[in-house]
Chains A and B, each alone.
Chain A
Amino acid sequence: MTAVAPPASARATTSTQLGRHRRDVAGLTFHVLLLIALLFSLGVLATLVLSVLVGGLPVLMERGLSFLTSPTSANPDKAGVVQGIIGSLLMTAIVAMVAIPLGIMTAIYLEEYAPASRLSRFIDINIRNLAGVPSIVYGLLGFTVFVTFLAPATGGTTILSAGLTLAALVLPIVIIASAEAIRAVPHELREGGYGIGASRWQVTRELVLPSAMPGILTGTILALARAIGETAPLLLVGAVLGYFSSGNKGPLEQLFGKFTALPTLIYDWARRPQSEFRDLTSAAIIVLLVITLFATAVSIYLRNRYQKTW
């Protein structure tokens, strides 16, 4: 049977069908729609940053360092963010000292030590639920436990209470991120340790933790960045809106006095009717964003550099 060449007309059609770029309108539209969605996010981000810069940069340039070192005031020409900065810094320190060790220890327990029991599953589910609780509810917790119940220890509505409240809020994030990092450590590494007679803690401390450290660090930094930006719980724990003087107290004394933080300061200024305060708010936002965006950038960078040299 000899092969019959397809008739010339059929050949031509086929080659046009395969060769010519059939305009795929629907697919193209879809692609464009997707891009629009992405550009929307980018656009919003850009607009936000721009508006904040436009409003706030002039203030920063004009006032310079005095903006960062003055306390808040009714007078827009004098108002500054120093109390917010100190408050936020002190709170972040408390969060770091409380939530990070507790979180990492909990993650180690869950991943390396916990038996497959109902209690372990309950702890796990509980942590995941805690991660989804709205932040203002943590404010209620902070108010009841730290401000009221533990008043003798914390002094009531103080930075200490605020810091502990934020620590509770951020704890689930640290746990989940650390647990993921620990889980990602390959089991061959552990086996190598156990196989030559290392104990569980020795394997955890010498092999698993060092290997998981980049991931744990990333999660920790993200958690701290989140803590710095929180406002609602602080409102319930007594952050002062309005004016107060921190006097000449050192930071340690300020732990137990009236306080505010950058986000609550921003909230306060944003609600003031004087138009000058709008730009002041933008300037304060710049300070806050610099801190949070820096932290986010560091954690992204750490995560990308995760590839170990070893």
Chain B
Amino acid sequence: MVMQEDVTVMQDDPIAVGSEPLERQPATSPSLSPEVFGAQGAPEPVIRLEEVSIWYGLFRAVRGFSTEIRPNRVTALIGPSGSGKSTLLRSINRMNDLIPGARLEGKVLYHGQDLYGPRIDAVEVRRRIGMVFQKPNPFPKSIYDNVAFGPRLSGFKGDLDGLVESSLRRAALWDEVKGKLKSSGLALSGGQQQRLCIARAIATEPEVILMDEPCSALDPRATLQIEELMRELKERYTLVIVTHNMQQAARASDRTIFMTMGEDRAGYVVEADETNRIFTQPSNQLTEDYVSGRFG
């Protein structure tokens, strides 16, 4: 299943092939070239992490993390609790900026641009790389206003109703709420609230959506709905999810990154590979121990 998609994506995916020339830096980062059509014909990654270490004050939470996130795929971050998965995820769209004393070393490259560069505005970053959180947190506003919040902030002048509808459709929520857009977002069920949060993130037309354990506060049925949604979403967006549920990672993701906590209490990458290889033929003994449930 995964292999087929790999090839298909390469042929059809327009994103990798210069659709946004303005966002590419002139090739000053030499590491880009071999990646354009890499070893297996894999498309250029949307996001690259190079030797990322994240510190909270004097404590290092993540060390030496290098990996890539490829477009229109679901990449899952798995690992035992405390291994720094959420910290790493949040660093991709600079949410860690909100934590006093948080600091990042290394590079987070988005289409070649270092997101932590000197003149980069974190707000712009987050409009392109949106986030959905573990506990659904819709705003205390109407469903319509929840989804319209982001576009309104950036001065959207077009058809707001249409944008709200298409966002809700893409989040597989439209049919359930179309008659009650003015009612409170908090009156929805847990699964619906989470889909509302996804719709809200989609409304800013991001390229990447980060999801931090999006299903752990939901019941099994809602969880499956969200996983199904992820499969649809990846056609338009690039998804990175953190999950502590291995089966979810196996079901829903294309690529899996396994990280764990080292003896210095810092998280690091153990292995990153196509999902089915991680789960059936992992190269690393630690990986195998984790996916077979021997720890974590």
Contact = CB atoms under 8 A, between A and B. Distances in A.
Find out whether A and B make contact in their complex, taking CB atoms under 8 A apart as touching: yes
Interface of A: 115-116, 188-199, 202, 206-207, 210-211, 308-310
Given A188-B133, A310-B184, A196 B139 contact: no
B201 to A, nearest CB: 5
A196 B141 contact: no
22 contacts: A115-B100, A188-B137, A191-B131, A192-B133, A192-B138, A192-B200, A193-B139, A193-B149, A194-B95, A195-B95, A195-B133, A196-B127, A196-B201, A197-B125, A197-B130, A197-B204, A198-B126, A198-B150, A206-B149, A210-B140, A211-B140, A309-B184
A197 B124 contact: yes
Nearest to A197: B127
B123 A199 contact: yes
Contacts of B127: 196-197
A195 B204 CA distance: 11
A266 B226 CA distance: 68
Given A196-B131, A197-B124, A197-B125, 19 more contacts: A116-B100, A116-B101, A188-B133, A191-B98, A191-B137, A193-B139, A195-B95, A196-B126, A196-B130, A196-B201, A197-B126, A197-B127, A197-B153, A198-B123, A198-B126, A198-B150, A202-B153, A308-B140, A310-B140
Nearest to B133: A191
Contacts of A207: 139
B149 to A, nearest CB: 7
Nearest to B123: A199
Contacts of B204: 196-197
A195 B35 CA distance: 29
B197 interface: yes
Contacts, number: 74
Nearest to B200: A196
A197 B100 contact: no
Contact of B141 (A195, A197, A198, A310): A310
B140 A195 contact: no
Contacts of A191: 95, 98, 131, 133, 137
B265 interface: no
A192 B140 contact: no
B223 to A, nearest CB: 20
B132 interface: yes
A210 to B, nearest CB: 8
Contact of B149 (A196, A199, A308, A309): A196
Contacts of A310: 140-141, 184, 186
A193 B133 CA distance: 11
Contacts of A206: 149, 153
Contacts of B95: 191, 194-195
B234 interface: no
B130 A195 contact: yes
Contacts of B138: 192
A175 to B, nearest CB: 21
